[in-house]
Chains A and B, each alone.
Chain A
């Protein structure tokens, strides 16, 4: 069974640009979460989608947005990039609604903002 797939794996942008990251969850998984990992802050929750609906959102500015499609694939977008947005963006999927917290993570998209 294929794991969580994130694209692109690496990308470089400049300040002010925008970026879209994609995540394909494990087949059958309907929940997709996004996390930002930085050396100083660790893993921080961005948002979570279930059946195309955003169920929860972390403490990030409105420049960070996301969506989920009917096939459970998800995208996140960061507009007006800042240097501090350089991070590893991790997508995670999960199957059930029981909130067991067992997330299956992708390898991440490493964003560098110059």
Chain B
């Protein structure tokens, strides 16, 4: 039973355009959500997060939107750059559990075409 789903295994976007990566979750206990980026042969690196008390969080070119009623979040990258080409993982955490057990989606491979 996959609790965090990234239904698009891959996404191609032209440089300068917007990239939108989507993520759905099923566990109502999740209330903290994160996006990680992973380049080949490297570990994932933290990108941006959002708490369930918010519906939007911005950091430079990256914005994460959370729709709790739909159990859906999305990552917007504007403008997209070739260096953004990587695998993006959505992750969720039940706050208050006293641990760092993150549940990850299977990832979306973003290719930004110059």
Partner-B contacts on A (CB < 8 A): 4, 31, 33, 35, 41-45, 48, 50, 55-56, 58, 90, 92, 94, 97, 99-108
Q: Is the CB of A44 within 8 A of B104?
A: yes
Q: Is the CB of B93 within 8 A of A42?
A: no
Q: Is the CB of B46 within 8 A of A90?
A: no
Closest to B94 in A: A99
Q: How far is the CA of A48 from the CA of B100 in the complex (A)?
A: 7
A-B contact pairs, 17 of them (CB 8 A): A35-B104, A42-B104, A43-B89, A43-B102, A43-B107, A50-B99, A55-B98, A55-B99, A56-B97, A99-B32, A99-B93, A101-B91, A101-B102, A102-B34, A102-B49, A105-B36, A105-B43
Size range of the chain B interface in the assembly: 20 to 34
Inter-chain CB contacts under 8 Å: number: 73
Q: Is the CB of A107 within 8 A of B42?
A: yes
Top 10 nearest A-B pairs (CB, nearest first) are: A105-B43, A42-B106, A43-B104, A56-B99, A101-B93, A55-B99, A56-B101, A105-B44, A107-B43, A48-B99
